[in-house]
Structure 1
Amino acid sequence: MAAFTVGPAPGVELSCYDSGGDGPAVVLLHGLAGTAREFFPTAAALPEYRAVLVDLRGHGGSTRVPPGVARSDYVSDVVRIIEHVGAPVVLVGQSMGAHTAMLVAAERPDLVGGLVLLECGAAGGDFDGHEAIGEYFRSWPTPFSSRAAARSFLGDGPLARAWAEDLEERADGFWPRFDPDVMAEAAAGLAAPRWKEWHAVQAPALVVYGGRGMFTADAKDAFVQQGHRVSRVDLPEASHDAHLDAFDDWVGALRGFLDREGHGQRPDCP
């Protein structure tokens, strides 16, 4: 996995990874407080594709405290990355990354040939209050003395394990790769309804939901029914982080969409 950086705006540098495959490009976007590393196994499961993974602004190895974290900032960043990679791409996102992917597809349909949304909605109210999110992250007793200490505090869930494994080791201990206040501000941008943007998306889309995810049955139905060219896969045993706790089913759904929509053909295929 080759690392590279993109500077989409003054004061912002994005840390990205490229699998180097010679097939169609698939750009993967993580969720709030996540990093690109969560999708390394997904990229490895798509060896015939060029998988490009992004640490979104405020996350991972990208600028920790960027000058802005509005929805439009994230959209502009992803547009710049796709332009760097070469359009069109299949844009894949989870949670906040899925929300960003949806907005990119609405604003720049020329860049997105397909869309895969894991745990996404457009109603706004489906997301937890941003203040509670900030309070939770500020409650972490950082720096942790070790990864084991972090695991003891965070728990043994798949997302908690991912957080613990991805902590940044510094001289004084282990730190999360995000700032709590930045996460709260970024989450606040998810509160507004985005039905207009969802209705504008014309690219073929797959929506994937976990049976133990964050959306109600009615919210899932409404989102899928109001889209265009949308297929749906439900993973009954998965959580909001299905890419972590229902990996085989998640990859199966993703590959099924890519094969069905013809994205699996190499550029030199007829």
Structure 2
Amino acid sequence: MKNITTPAVALAVLIAATPFAAFAESMVVEGSAGGDLRIDQPIKGENIAPLYIQGKPIIKVREGASSTIQIRGAEKVEQKRPEPAMVKAKVAAAADTGIDARIQKLNDVLIRLDKTERLSDSARASIKAAVTGQIQSLKDVKVKIETNSTSTVKERMNTANQPFRAAGLILPKAAITAAADRIMTIAGQMEVFSAKIEARIDAASAAGTDVSAARTALANFDAKVASAKVNAQAAAKLVATVSADKEADEATFKANVAALREAKLKIDAAQADLKAARTEIGNLLKSIKGKGEVRADASVKASAQ
């Protein structure tokens, strides 16, 4: 806001005092600098003196009021205020919370990787190294923020976002790899189960039992197990090349995200296959119930938890 005095305006205008009972709103007109000239709304019943140039009213001045007029919008002045310490503290607290949560998730991934059975030693070691590196990177960022080595809120946010972005890739990569390994383990158990069931179906058939429905169910079961393995292997292959480099360019980052999404769809499909296989086992057992000694091993589960 700028202030100019009425004497400066009065040099170019003729003041004609005319009483006005009331005005609904204050008058706003264009100023010479491209902004608006405005005075406050008068109190009902006060006298207002309009200012004229060539017979046209331009502004109104309240009689007896202050001799200053405010100019609105004539000029925009940008002031860079120092960022309050409170804002920085909130950003630091939010960053700490986010970092701690991601570190916990990464530690959970390390525990899960140690339990994988089908994952090769080299693949397991590679993923664990990437996860460990991300944990250390997040810890370094936390120390940097807590020691106030970043001077502005923007710098603090950028400092935290870089490792968050990298962790956003390594977490799903490790989770998908572990899920694929779990699916392969369950599929292997189901293949062993299938061989045992087939032998018993053959024995029941040799004894004169009609096992046509059981053979159909077993064939469907085997197909679903095979499909689950294919999808799990495809998912593991897709994420194998995903890079968690925080300095990667945008194109690489988007390609990694696309690979993770496709791999997740493969994992979902594999889990659906295992669920369908479990259903086929139920159908198989119903079809031969009471017709022989065919029994199912109830310990075999069709979920990739």
Normalising by structure 2, we get a TM-score of 0.23
- Computing the radius of gyration from Cα coordinates, the structure with the larger value is 2
Q: Which has the higher contact order (CA 8 A, sep 6+)?
A: 1
Larger % of helix: which? Answer: 2
Choose between structure 1 and 2: higher strand proportion: 1
